[in-house]
Structure 1
Amino acid sequence: MSIKKVYLIRHGQTDYNLQSIVQGSGVNSSLNAEGQRQASLFFDKYKAVAFDKVYTSTLQRSIQSVQKFLDLGLPHEQHAGLNEINWGTREGTRITPEEDAYYYNMLETWTKGGTDQPIEGGESPQMVSDRQRVFVDLMLSRPEEETILVCMHGRAMRILLCQLLRYPLRCMDNFRHENLCLYELDYTGSMFSVRKYCDVAHLQPEMVL
């Protein structure tokens, strides 16, 4: 039986990550120097993998994280369905104590099952999952693409993992993420399984003995 292998990564670090500024689909930030270093380390570790296709969101921090693979000439598609959740009125702002309290109350609402409730001016997890479905259906309709690399964003990645692994959306925070972390998934034609969970071993340069 043919197995589809999905290498799912979060983008590298941006200055917004470093400064605790909210960045969702409405903020098209670039990788900083550390993010570029992370992207290079991931490339060095996985450049020998025979990827059939690279998928990214439409946001540049996602594309920049896999640019070295694209420079090899690998086929590439951008999908807005992979964009980060829209954080609404909080986009591009540094978190105040009041906003922090609102944010955690919203996360608690989602954890209790209220995943159809959007953040003020933005999206709900259910809205993100619905737009991701188009990408998932497309990905699964292409059995000839046996090994793919997908680069996206933290909250959206948690939502996608729930969808692929058939978890309720309220469980999305069970999936940890860090900048340039890797989830390696296998798909057998009926279900996905996880081979690597939030793996960041590639970000540690190998020791020379």
Structure 2
Amino acid sequence: MAQKIIYLIRHGETDYNRRGIVQGSGVDSDLNDMGRAQAMAFFQAYQHVPFNKIYISGLKRTYQTVEPFIELGLPFEKLIGLNEISWGTMEGKAPGNLDNEYYRTLIEAWESGHTDQATDKGESPQQVADRQKVSIDTILSHPEEELILVAMHGRAMRILLCWITNQPLAKMDQFEHSNLCLYKLSYDYESAQFTIELANDTAHLLSLALMQ
């Protein structure tokens, strides 16, 4: 029975993450020192895993997160469909009181089922899911890649995990995530079903607690 195992990770920390500034797909930031330490800690914990390929988004923070694996010679591919949601006019801004109210209203609308509502000059969760489906179809079209590593982004991960488990996008906030967390997924080609085997795992980061 053909099966694909997917190690799905969120990128390591950036200074924007630390300062609570929205990046989205429009801010192409680098990992900070903590983010690079997280990337190395993940590498040290999982360098023994025989990945066939790595998939990343078009943003450099995902490349930098898996760079130690790429330096081993593992093939990788950028899929812009894995990019973070576009937060439009909010990207690069430190949230103030009015901005916080904007986000709260938007998230409440999404939780109420209005997942076709886009951010101001940005994307809706449904638009993100639609472009993700093209990328996931690309990934699944290679059954010979039985074990892969995928690096992407927080809100985009929530959207992805929701639709691949056949849940409405309104439920996406149930999927917790933190920088360099791991979701381990399996995909069964016969049933065309995804299973989440490990969720928001950060055991590989325990050694970094003193750096916080």
TM, length-normalised to structure 2: 0.95
1:38 equivalent in structure 2? 38
2:199 equivalent in structure 1? 197
Question: For residues 25 and 203 of structure 2, what CA distance do their matches in structure 1 show?
Answer: 28
Deviation of 1:28 after TM superposition, in Å, equals: 0.1
2:126 equivalent in structure 1? 126
* Letter paired with 2:39: A
Deviation of 1:146 after TM superposition, in Å, equals: 0.2
Deviation of 1:166 after TM superposition, in Å, equals: 1.2
Residue correspondence of structure 1 range 1-209 to structure 2 within 5 A: 1-189=1-189, 190-205=192-207
Secondary structure of the structure 2 residue equivalent to 1:66:
helix
* Letter paired with 2:34: E
Deviation of 1:140 after TM superposition, in Å, equals: 1.2
Question: For residues 84 and 183 of structure 1, what CA distance do their matches in structure 2 show?
Answer: 17
Return 5+ residue gaps in structure 1 as ranges. none
Instruction: Out of 164-173 and 177-186, give the one that drifted further.
Output: 164-173
Secondary structure of the structure 2 residue equivalent to 1:85:
coil
* Letter paired with 2:11: H
Q: How many percent identity over aligned positions?
A: 53
Kindly provide the CA deviation profile for residues 173-205 of structure 1, in whole angstroms up to 9, marking residues without a partner as x: 010010000000011112111111000001013
Question: For residues 80 and 187 of structure 2, what CA distance do their matches in structure 1 show?
Answer: 23
* Letter paired with 1:186: S
Give the aligned CA root-mean-square deviation in angstroms. 0.9
Return 5+ residue gaps in structure 2 as ranges. none
Deviation of 1:98 after TM superposition, in Å, equals: 0.3
Question: For residues 87 and 205 of structure 1, what CA distance do their matches in structure 2 show?
Answer: 33
Question: For residues 111 and 148 of structure 2, what CA distance do their matches in structure 1 show?
Answer: 30
Kindly provide the CA deviation profile for residues 70-109 of structure 1, in whole angstroms up to 9, marking residues without a partner as x: 0001010001100000001100010010000110110000
* Letter paired with 2:89: T
Deviation of 1:18 after TM superposition, in Å, equals: 0.5
User: How many residues are paired up?
Assistant: 206
Deviation of 1:59 after TM superposition, in Å, equals: 0.4
